[in-house]
Amino acid sequence: MTPQWSAPTADGPVRATVPVPGSKSITNRALVLAAIADAPATLHAPLRSRDTLLMAAALRALGVGVEDGPDGSWRVTPAPLRGPASVDCGLAGTVMRFLPPAAALATGEVLFDGDEQARVRPMGTVLGALRALGADVDGDALPFTLRGKGGLPGGEVTIDASASSQFVSGLLLSGARYESGLTVVHSGKPVPSLPHIDMTVAMLREAGVAVDDSTPDTWRVQPGPVAGRDWHVEPDLSNATPFLAAAAVTGGEVTVPGWPASTTQPGDAARDLFARMGCVVELSPAGLTLRGPDRLMGVDVDLRDESELTPTVAALAVLADGPTRIRGVAHIRGHETDRIAALVAEINGLGGAAEETEDGLVITPAPLRGGVWHAYADHRMATAGAIIGLVVPGVVVDDIGSTTKTIPDFPGMWADLLGVR
C-alpha cells in the first residue's frame, strides 16, 4: 500500500485537455491473441500499467517473445507455450481468467497465483470449464496449478457466467487453438458486461477467427489459425471518465483526445450517463469534450453492461442535487473488492447517505466532510475518492498507488489536470 494521498481540491472550474493511455481490455486481449497467432504481431500504443505488464510477463514466462519497441509498441513473437512456469496474476481479472485457457495449450506445469485479494475472486467457472474440456487443473481459485498437455480437445461446455463476462471471453480467446474448437453455452442469470464479450468476438474476427454468436447465450469458435496482425489500441474510455468527471463536478471543461467515433468499449456509455446528469457532451475530430453544469442531476440507471463506471457515477451522485439509484451491478461484489459495500461504507464515512440494494445502491445527496477514503486496493475506488476530493476539502485516499493497475501515473495526470504540478 502506498502512503496516504491528499486529494487536491479544485479552486475553480477545471479546464484541460487530457490524453488518456490505451485500453487495458484491448491490450490484454491483443496480447493473448498475439501469443497464440501464426506470425508475429505488433501492438501500437498499448497500455503499460500493472495489469498489462503482468500479462506480458506471464507470456514471457511461457516462452512467448514480448519485446519493447522504440515508440512504446510491443512486438509479440509467438512460440510453443511451455512450462514449468509461474504466473503472477496480481489483482488482474484479465490475467487470471484469460491466461489459463491459453496455458492449457502449453506443455508442462504452470502455477498461477496473485495478490491476497485475488485469491477470493471467482475462478471456479473458468477452471471447471477447462477441466470439462480436458485440461488437468488443481484447485478452484488462486493459487492453482495447470498441467499442460500441449493441446486441448475442446468441444462444448456449459457455464454460468452471471458473475463475470470474463469467464466467456477468457475461454473464447484461445478456443480456435483447441482441436475441435470451442462452443460456450451460458446457463443462468443474464451475463453482465456483454459489451466486453462483443469486444472479444470482434477482435477474434479481426484475427481471422470464425465466431458464431447468432444464438443468444451461445458462442461458437471454429478451430483454425489465428492471424498475426497489427493492433492499434484505443484510449481507455473507462479510465477517461474520472477526468471528465472533474469537469462535471466543477462546472469546467475537459477534452479527451482520440475518443473513437465507433467502439466496442463499454466506457463509451459514459457519454450518455454524463448527459443525463446535466452535462454537455460533444464528440468531434478533436476528441470528446465535456462541459459541466451548474448543478448535477441524480439519475436512475442500470449499469449491468458498463458496471465498471459504477464508482465514477457514485462519486458524481454524492455531489448531485437529487438521489441516484444504480441498478444491475450485483456482480461487482466480486471485483477487486465488493464495490457496492465499499462505496456505501466510504460515502457514509464522509457524512453521505448511501445504502446497498440487492443489485446496486441508492445515494441521497448530503453534506460531506473530509476524511480518509479507503481504496481497498481497487483502482476505481481510488479514483472515485479523487473526484469527490475536488469539491470536498480534506479527502485523503489511503492507497492511490492502486491506480497503477490501469493508469501508470494517475497522481501526476491529476496534478496536470488541475495545473498544480
Distance CA 243, CA 267 (A): 13
SS3 363: strand
In the chain, the amino acid numbered 115 is D
Q: Looking at this protein, which amino acid is placed at residue 235?
A: P
Q: How far apart are CA 243 and CA 255, in angstroms?
A: 9
Count of beta carbons in the 10 Å neighbourhood of residue 120: 12
Biggest CA pair distance of the chain: 61
Burial (Cβ within 10 Å: 0-12, 13-18, ≥19) of residue 151: middle
Q: Which residues are annotated as a binding site for 3-phosphoshikimate?
A: 24-25, 29, 164-166, 193, 308, 335
Instruction: Verify whether residue 109 is a known catalytic residue.
Output: no
Buried b (16+ CB within 10 A) or exposed e, 297-328: ebbebebbbbbbbbbbbbbbbbbbeeebbbbb
CA–CA dist 309, 299 (Å, integer): 14
- Regarding beta strands 136-138 and 144-149, do their DSSP bridges make them parallel or antiparallel, or are they unpaired? antiparallel
Q: In whole angstroms, what is the distance from residue 274 CA to residue 72 CA?
A: 32
The 3-class SS string of 308-360 reads HHHHHHHHHHCCCCCCEEEECCHHHHHCCCCHHHHHHHHHHHCCCEEEEECCE
Q: Which of 245, 269, 380 is nearest to 317 (CA)?
A: 245
Choice among 308, 346, 356, 358 that is catalytic: 308
Distance between CA 356 and CA 418 in Å, rounded?
33
Catalytic residue set: 308
